[in-house]
Amino acid sequence: MKRRLLTPFLLFLAVLPFVLAGGCRKSGDPVRQTLDEIAAAAGKTDDGAVLARISETFRGPGGESKADLAAEVKRYFFAYESLDVTLSDVVIERGPDRARAVFVAGLSGTAKKIGGLDGILPRTSKWKFEVTLVLEQEKWRIATGKWERLD
């Protein structure tokens, strides 16, 4: 059950670079910069760099930990040949040490054609996300995430 709950969040992390490269940036916003760094790392399938921007205290909607997320990130970076996402309705609320981002993500991807992955993993889906970022040791990290499928 945990694996199924993490799927949309992990897909978002993996495909974020394609969206951020297209716009919606606030120049100089450290919260947005953190999302850009996660995006760049995901685009390179650099799980270490992605996970460096996830809080050690991360909790998903079902209580998933950073360790749970790390295992899923590694599996998804291995499983997909290509990923793409479009964000809409992006809202970022930022405080001095906490920020909240809410958005809709349209995800699409092509799974590798090994072990039947291309028949199991979704090609398209649409999700509403809410993530909380916290300032830890002068760096913004994702502390919580929740999501729901819209289609």
One-letter amino acid for residue 39 of the chain? A
Domain that holds residue 31: 2-149
Rounded to an integer, the average pLDDT of 37-65 is 85
Q: pLDDT at position 39, please?
A: 62
Rounded to an integer, the average pLDDT of 13-37 is 59
Q: Residue 52 is encoded by which pair of tokens?
A: 């460096």
Rounded to an integer, the average pLDDT of 7-33 is 57
Helix, coil or strand: residue 111: strand
Query: Is this structure's pTM higher than 0.75?
Result: no
Q: CA of 55: how far to CAs of 14, 26, 70, 114, 134, in Å? A: 17, 23, 11, 32, 8
Domain of residue 103, CATH code: 3.10.450.50
Q: Residue 103 is encoded by which pair of tokens?
A: 């958005």
Lowest-pLDDT choice from 11-15, 83-87, 128-132: 11-15
Give the confidence band of 135 by pLDDT, cuts at 50, 70, 90. Answer: very high
Task: Choose among 148, 65, 59: nearest CA to 103.
Answer: 148
Give the confidence band of 115 by pLDDT, cuts at 50, 70, 90. Answer: confident
Q: Highest mean pLDDT range out of 44-48, 72-76, 129-133?
A: 129-133
What is the H or E stretch that residue 92 is in? strand 80-94
Give the CA count within 13 Å in the CB-facing half-sphere of 127: 23
Q: pLDDT at position 17, please?
A: 46
Q: pLDDT at position 110, please?
A: 72
Looking at the 3D structure of the chain, how many domains does it have? 1
Rounded to an integer, the average pLDDT of 84-106 is 79
Distance of CA 28 to the CA centre of its chain: 21
Q: How far apart are the first and last CA of the chain?
A: 20
